[in-house]
Amino acid sequence: MIEGISIYDILTLTTILFFIGVYGFLTRKNLISILISVEMILNASVVNFVVINKYLYPDILQGTLFSIFIIAVAAAETALAVAIIINLYRQISSVEVKDTEVMKF
């Protein structure tokens, strides 16, 4: 419960953050940028979890717990994704999305 700030303000902020992430995910050409966009989406949801937990059910901690869980998974996922990107870079010397379509059909 933060004084002066309603839940709507925070949710609006996270929604903006989420859609910035979505926009980035859909439009970025660089794999790293896409990864960052994905992180932004995840972080938006993390904030949501925390905020909703705090505002609606202040006496339980499951939302917060979930956000930590998400952070952990996101870290693992980022590590994996970066590993793939590095390997991909070794193969095709590029991290552009358009160069990765070799297996499409």
Burial code (b: 16+ CB inside 10 Å, e: under 16) for 33-70 equals ebbebbbbbbbbbbbbbbbebbeeeeeeeebeeebeeb
User: Alpha helix (H) ranges present in the chain?
Assistant: 7-27, 31-56, 62-92
| Comparison of 31 and 74: residue with beta carbon closer to other proteins | 31
Q: How far is the CB of 91 from other proteins (least distance, A)?
A: 16
The nearer residue to other proteins, 90 or 98, going by C-beta atoms, is 98
- Nearer CB in complex with other proteins: 33/64: 33
Give contact residues for other proteins (rule: CB under 8 A): 22, 25-28, 34, 97-98, 100-101, 103-105
Torsion of CA 26, 18, 39, 86, to 10 degrees: 10
Q: How far is the CB of 13 from other proteins (least distance, A)?
A: 20
Closest separation between CB of residue 28 and other proteins, Å?
8
> Which C-beta is closer to other proteins: that of 25 or that of 66?
25
